[in-house]
Amino acid sequence: MATIYGEDLVEGAEYRLGEYTLTEAEIIDFAKQWDPQAFHTDPQAAESGAYRGIIASGVQTIAVMQRLTVQAVYEGWSVIAGRRVGETLFLRPVRPGDTLTGTAVLRRVVPEALGRTGVDIDIELTCDGKPVLTASFDVLVRTRAAG
């Protein structure tokens, strides 16, 4: 696979993310370890709660977004590291059986010192065409000379 360096990236470029479907078992297992609130872990309690059923933890939704972004975007880049997570909005609940997908858009690409490029990325995760999460990230990518 060809490696993409900072100088190859273009502001406004849009990447289509793959898909991931969450099961009820995955949602419950994740929440039991990382976000053990009843509306994530207990189907009976969740049914009588505000969401009328189990919903995924926001942390799990972020993890799915990261996986999809790595697979569709970062795997081909010469990434150094993530530098900042910006505003993250949870717009609607994610339920068992929901298939998540989305887009990543390069908002800003700025050459920096030390053989690196700062890249600001806006990501929107959707289910059935409706946004469930938006987030922004600042990532460092090597330049060709540094790679």
- CATH code for position 52: 3.10.129.10
Q: State the residue range of the domain holding 54.
A: 10-142
Asked whether residue 3 is domain-assigned, the answer is no
pLDDT of the residue at 145: 85
Contact 41, 49 (CB under 8 A): no
Number of compact structural domains in the chain: 1
pLDDT per residue of the chain (147 residues) written in tens, 0 to 9: 569 999 999 999 999 999 999 999 999 999 999 999 999 999 999 999 999 999 999 999 999 999 999 999 999 999 999 999 999 999 999 999 999 999 999 999 999 999 999 999 999 999 999 999 999 999 999 999 876
64 within a domain of the structure (yes/no): yes
- The pTM (predicted TM-score) of the whole model is 0.94
Cα(110)–Cα(117) distance, integer angstroms = 6
